[in-house]
Amino acid sequence: MSTFPSAEAWREACAGDATLAAWAGPWSITFAIASGSVTTAFSFVDGKPQTGGGDAAFTLAAPDDVWAKFLLPVPPRHHHGIFAMHYRIPEFSIQGDQLAFMQHAHVARRVLEIGKWLALGNKAPVPVSLSPRGGARPMPKVQGGYVPVTVGGVTYQIYYETAGSGRDVLCMHTAGSDARQFHGLMADERITAGHRLVAFDLPWHGKSLPPEGAIPGSWRLNTDLYVDLIMGFAAAMGLDKPIALGASMSGEICLELAYRHPEAFTGIVACEACEKINQRQTTWAAHPRVNQSMFVPEWIRALSAPQSPAEYQEAITWHYGQGGPAVFYGDIAFYSGDWDGRERVGKIDTNRCRLFMLTGEYDYSCTVELSRATAEKIPGVVFREMKGIGHFPFAENPKLFAEYLLPVLADLRG
């Protein structure tokens, strides 16, 4: 069973780590990692790792067997990151000052990565990411533009990108991100040879600015607004019965589209979706003493599968770090708040619109079990588990996701 390195070796590796060195600045913290009866403290002064420990503001604690699974080259699901374990592993706990942890979650995560690298028998330097690298991300041939969409008397200038030719696929990004999540699929000629991918940025996201005069931090998404924005965009673009594709919050809204507007779509592909998600709202994403651009990427980081290519995981976290004030927070108000399909999903008529539900093995927010339970309420739905994929299928591993998507597209061609 793998164990963490000695305190001396671990702290020494932290002191020489380029990533931690890049984060040095006007902050100081001491925290600890407890594995069974062994606790190792790490102190930072002005952002620089110290050789000794100290009194911990917070402690990440778990039994030896939980950490042993985390230390595997490819951990089992729910054991591959801090927030995955915090959310799904009862024996794991974050003890002490919660604000201090949220402020320094990225530092704690990096220290754990360094410990894991050494535990696996490697030597410094520790790579920026422990996930495998698959080469440079291919660049898609996209065309972009803007289209006005009016909802509730407010006109939004919506940015969109298209790639490919053929049947339209309406691509909808996840909470707090934007249409760049689909660049991997847009670069896949197996898909673009017969389909035109149309991805757009929701208002306040990516290149779709807030409406003029909007109060920064006031974005709040809800089910009705979301549906109206999607249908308004589809109409403005002249899309003729496209295939709808989304994941996470856009996977949830796919279920709502299947219920409200089945006649408007050739088929709907709802990824990482279920009838209701609980306990995923986080006030830390809008807390004035928490750096949103550092915290939000940490909050979603372990939603990706650990074996997804590092290049794509890095892009996902970068997109999330670029969000405007409380935009992610406002999206989660829908994802784990306003959205509640428990009284509606069973009424979806798959004879009017084919519905496919695909959920990744490593998604700890909308688990395979949650998606499957929802699918069992919908007559005629096709449900599949995606092995080796997490919460961001088209963004974290587009090549692997395409292996699940291509049969769906072929099925919809008839």
Number of H helices, E strands in the chain: 16, 13
What are the backbone angles phi and psi of residue 58, rounded to the nearest 5°? Answer: -150, 160
What are the backbone angles phi and psi of residue 320, rounded to the nearest 5°? Answer: -65, -30
Alpha helices, DSSP H only, in 292-397?
292-301, 310-321, 327-333, 368-375, 393-396
Distances in Å between the Cα of 288 and the Cα atoms of 88, 220, 247, 349 are 27, 18, 29, 45
Q: Which pLDDT score is estimated for 1? A: 59
Residue 96 contacts residue 55 (beta carbons within 8 Å): no
What are the backbone angles phi and psi of residue 34, rounded to the nearest 5°? Answer: -110, 120
Which of 175, 182, 196, 189 shows the shortest CA–CA distance to 327? 175
| Alpha carbons 276 and 245: distance in angstroms, whole number | 19
Residue 292 contacts residue 381 (beta carbons within 8 Å): no
Q: Which pLDDT score is estimated for 2? A: 72
Which of 22, 14, 5 shows the shortest CA–CA distance to 44? 14
Q: Which pLDDT score is estimated for 134? A: 87
Q: Which pLDDT score is estimated for 411? A: 96
pLDDT digits (tens, 9 = 90+) for 50-87: 988 789 999 999 999 999 999 999 999 999 999 999 99
pTM summary value: 0.96
To which H or E segment does residue 233 belong?
A: helix 223-236
| Alpha carbons 377 and 183: distance in angstroms, whole number | 33
| Alpha carbons 92 and 33: distance in angstroms, whole number | 11
Q: Which pLDDT score is estimated for 409? A: 98
Please provide the CATH number assigned to the domain covering 143-413.
3.40.50.1820
Q: Which pLDDT score is estimated for 105? A: 98
Residue 176 contacts residue 259 (beta carbons within 8 Å): no
User: Which residue intervals of the chain bear CATH 3.30.1050.10?
Assistant: 7-119
CA 379, 380, 381, 384 torsion-angle sign: positive
The fold of the 7-119 domain, in CATH, is Nonspecific Lipid-transfer Protein; Chain A (3.30.1050)
Burial pattern 217-245, b for ≥16 Cβ within 10 A else e, equals eebebebebbbebbbbbbeebebeebbbb
Question: Which residues does the chain have with pLDDT short of 50?
Answer: none
User: Which residue intervals of the chain bear CATH 3.40.50.1820?
Assistant: 143-413
